[in-house]
Structure 1
Amino acid sequence: MGQLDGKVALVTGASRGIGTAIAERFASAGAAVAVSARTVDATDARLPGTIGDTVARIEAAGGTASAHRADLAHAMDRQDLIESVLDRHGTIDILVNNAAVTYFTPITEFSARRFALMFEVQVTAPTHLAQLVIPTMRTRGHGWILNISSIAACHPRQPYQPRAMRGGTVYGMCKAALERFTSGLAAELQNADIAVNSLAPNRVVPTPGTVFHQLTTENDPESEPPSVMADAALELCYRPATEMTGRIAYSADLLRELGHPAAIP
């Protein structure tokens, strides 16, 4: 018996990286996983991976998955996504808000269009998707909402390191807003048995995106494997809300706290 047997999970931004790792881990724990992203066909060699690839790997391993294209910058796509998953699987027990659009640009050079897009995808979309799935979760009598955050949500400390000075301010603002949304929604849903948590890696995870933005390299010995985030995400998406909700968690720290065998020393 897997921890997620009989559950349906929707994971956004699941064409590559952390989203794919979480989707595959949830499927291995017994969930039927709906994966969503803009990428249906591979068009950029710098950012390989599609939701079709993710579904194929899950099914090859004996799991159940479905692919749902959606551009989360658009409210209608978000509405259509939830309806599509409900039509296919009948319910949504778990929502993982992982999708992101990121630009690393100094504030003095940041365009209004990019600013609005980042907040739409990383703050407005998770809020809207939560609004859309909560009624189903209330009907089921349980639910789990997990928002994928980043250590960038923390305030830079002096003396400032090069990474803090390279233009990640808006990214950090988005993740800080997402974490405040997490804690607030957890409080609002405390009596509905719907757990709401956020999860960030302790270290940079080597993904096509972070490698593209030169935040790490594929073989960086100081990086965190995507599997650590996936294992931590699972721990936050099956325990009852009475046990674990409102957490602003960090992956390796959480696994160590829980005595998980995959915890990084």
Structure 2
Amino acid sequence: MPVAIVTGASRGIGAGIARRLVAEGCDVACVARTLAEGDSHLDGSLQRTVDRLTEAGGRAHAVVADLSAPDFDAHGLVCEVEIVLGPVDYLVNNAAAAFYPSYLETPRKRMEVSFRVNVVAPWLLAQAVLPGMIERGTGSVLNLTSQTAIMPPGPPFKVAPQIGGATSYGGSKAWLERATVGAAAELYGTGVSLNCLSPDTSVITEGSDALVDLSAYPNEPVDTMAEAAWALLTGDPEEFTGRVEYALSLLHRLQRPVMRLDGSGLLEGWQPHEFDTAYLIAPGGDRP
């Protein structure tokens, strides 16, 4: 069975991707800070995700880790996963620290946490799994990013009232995208792929709902993110590497059917021919 690590898997997109990976026959190591219900002010926990995965017939392992810690031990985490589940085939860096204070009001601590979670931890985890992938000649790293990484168009500038210029979050995700493409270029031809994935619109999750009100904006389900993630993780590494993709746009371009998270069938209302193309983001970050 392929082995995957998914960070930020206690809830939201991470938990959804973990469900889809198990439905495709993967063993999944779920990484997050929240082990049990009540350990966080948000709903969701590693225990809930792992229980759901095992009830679906999968093999899952919970790893409690704080990716924002200055002494975060990525190699130790990967070693634990390899001992329990085996060599890592897929790494999904989904965990994120999203803050939206203005540039002048961003405290140093929040800026540092943003970069530790959104940049440093994905980099260290990739460094820990890539040597084994390269040796085996196969494997994939997927970094979840955000359309806030796209440069705000202007001048004149008009910024979203709830997120402003997204300087700390969008800036860290833009850095992650550039590093991912650079690493993909360096490792091209090894059989290993590195890609980035973002929603075209927004995805309402427990975490996002606690930060901003997205109900007035276009939204897409976790299922489309999970489908696009699986497409990139399993794509031909000669073609699908070094990409910064947006879920609906990728699925529409590939005309790829969207499965439910549990793999039980097609997700009604979210097939490529049903997407509203006004919400799709073209390569380079432009709307059609």
TM-score of the two chains, using structure 1 as the length reference: 0.92
Match of 2:218 in 1: 222
Aligned positions of 1:171-190 closer than 5 A: 171-190=169-188
Length, aligned pairs only: 258
**Which residue matches 1:237?**
233
User: Could you tell me which residue of structure 2 aligns to residue 110 of structure 1?
Assistant: 106
Residue 14 (structure 1) shift: 0.5
Letter in 2 for 1:52: Q
Give 1:111's aligned amino acid. Answer: P
The percent of aligned pairs where both chains have the same amino acid is 40
Partner of 2:278: none
1:102-181 to 2 correspondences below 5 Å: 102-158=98-154, 159-163=157-161, 166=164, 168-181=166-179
The match for 1:89 is: 85
Q: Matches of 2:117 and 2:148 in 1, distance apart?
A: 17
Contact 1:42–1:50, Cα closer than 8 Å, also in 2 = yes
2:31 pairs with 36, 43, 50, which one? 36
Q: Deviations over 1:79-134 (max 9, x none)?
A: 32111101111200000011112221112111111111110111011111111111
**In the TM superposition, what is the alpha-carbon distance from 1:156 to its structure 2 partner?**
1.4
How far apart, CA to CA, are the structure 2 residues paired with 1:166 and 1:196? 30
CA distance in 2, matches of 1:135, 1:129: 11
**CA shift in 2, pair 1:46/1:35, >3 Å:** same
Greater Cα shift, 158-167 or 203-212: 158-167
Distance in 1 (alpha carbons) for counterparts of 2:206 and 2:147: 18
| Alpha carbons of structure 1 residues 44 and 203: separation in structure 2 relative to 1, 3 Å | farther
Partner SS, residue 104 of structure 2: helix
Per-residue CA distance 1:154-199 (angstroms, 9 max, x = gap): 0112451434763621100011001001100100110211010000
Amino acid at match of 1:64: R
Instruction: Measure how far apart 1:73 and its partner are.
Output: 2.0
Which residue in 1 is equivalent to 2:196? Answer: 198
Counterparts of 1:87 and 1:62, CA distance in 2: 21
Residue equivalent to 2:47: 52
Do 1:197 and 1:245's aligned partners in 2 also have CA atoms closer than 8 Å?
yes
User: Is contact 1:228-1:251 (8 Å) kept?
Assistant: yes
CA RMSD of aligned residues (A): 1.7
Q: Which of 20, 23, 27 is the matching residue for 1:25?
A: 20
Tell me the amino acid that sits aligned with residue 181 of structure 2.
Answer: S
Q: In 2, are the aligned partners of 1:15 and 1:53 still within 8 Å (CA)?
A: yes
For structure 2, the 5+ residue unaligned runs are 259-271, 276-288
1:108 counterpart SS class: coil
The one-letter amino acid of 1:68's match is V
Mapped to 1, the partners of 2:28 and 2:115 lie a distance apart of 26
Compare 96-105 and 44-53 and name the one that shifted more. Answer: 44-53
In structure 2, the CA distance between the partners of 1:147 and 1:163, relative to structure 1 (3 Å rule), is farther
One-letter identity of the residue aligned with 2:26: A
Is the CA contact 2:146–2:198 (under 8 Å) kept in the aligned structure 1? yes
Shift of 1:243: 2.6
Deviation at 1:221, TM superposition (A): 7.2
For residues 87 and 55 of structure 1, what CA distance do their matches in structure 2 show? 18
Q: SS of 1:233's equivalent?
A: helix
* In structure 2, distance between residues paired with 1:70 and 1:12: 9
The Cα shift of 1:139 comes to: 2.1
- Alignment of 1:261 with 2:219, yes or no, is no
Measured after TM superposition, the shift of residue 78 of structure 1 is: 2.2
